[in-house]
Amino acid sequence: MNFRELVEKRQSDRRYDPTIAVEPEMVSRIVETALLAPSACNAQPWHITIVDNPKCCRHVSDATTSLGLNKFATDVPVHLIITEERPNFLSALGSVMYGKHFPHIDCGILAAHLVLAATAEGLGSCIIGSFNEKKLRKTLGIPRSRKILLDVVIGHSIDPHRPKVRKPESETTSH
């Protein structure tokens, strides 16, 4: 499948088959591929916590659904928690000089690579940004020095493929 087909196939899935585990080798390939993502000044200001133990997944799901959102996360077999790490000096300096927090941008790029890599492996995915950070931090033992940004969930989707609905190019681009 070419890149456009991959992007067209990728969607935010919210229903997963809880009876089918994701093979550890698949998770490794997904993470290894995503870690090739570009970052400002090659800072790679991220850390991925892989949660694939069913008991731990339930605890992470509790933190992800505790705000009344993301109820689908209870059936997810793998959570990939992205935390922000301290950027290198040049990236940090660029953030100050240009008024952009490059680590957030970089972690977003990493998340995009994760979901595309999951799609290439035949898995569904969804990027979750709303969760009880305090509960998630305690559950996973993530130090306060790291900002938890996203939970990328992956699994065997049972959602049907949906065609993309996007604004017309004339509304989103200019020359």
pLDDT in tens, the chain (175 residues): 899 999 999 999 999 998 999 999 999 999 999 999 999 999 999 999 999 999 999 999 999 997 788 999 988 999 999 999 988 888 888 888 898 899 999 999 999 999 999 999 999 999 999 999 999 999 999 999 899 999 999 999 999 999 999 999 999 999 9
How much is the pLDDT for 55?
Answer: 93
- As to burial, measured by CB atoms within 10 angstroms (0-12 exposed, 13-18 middle, 19+ buried), residue 171 is exposed
CA separation, residue 83 to residues 4, 120, 137, 145, 154 (Å): 29, 24, 10, 10, 17
124-128 and 78-84 strand pairing: unpaired
Nearest of 127, 33, 124, 142 to residue 80 by alpha carbon? 127
How much is the pLDDT for 128?
Answer: 97
How much is the pLDDT for 94?
Answer: 82
How much is the pLDDT for 68?
Answer: 82
Distance CA 47, CA 148 (A): 9
How much is the pLDDT for 113?
Answer: 98
Facing residues of 84 across strands?
A: 46, 147
Sequence-ordered strand ranges (E) for 28-131:
46-51, 78-84, 124-128
Is there a contact between 78 and 50 (Cβ–Cβ < 8 Å)? yes
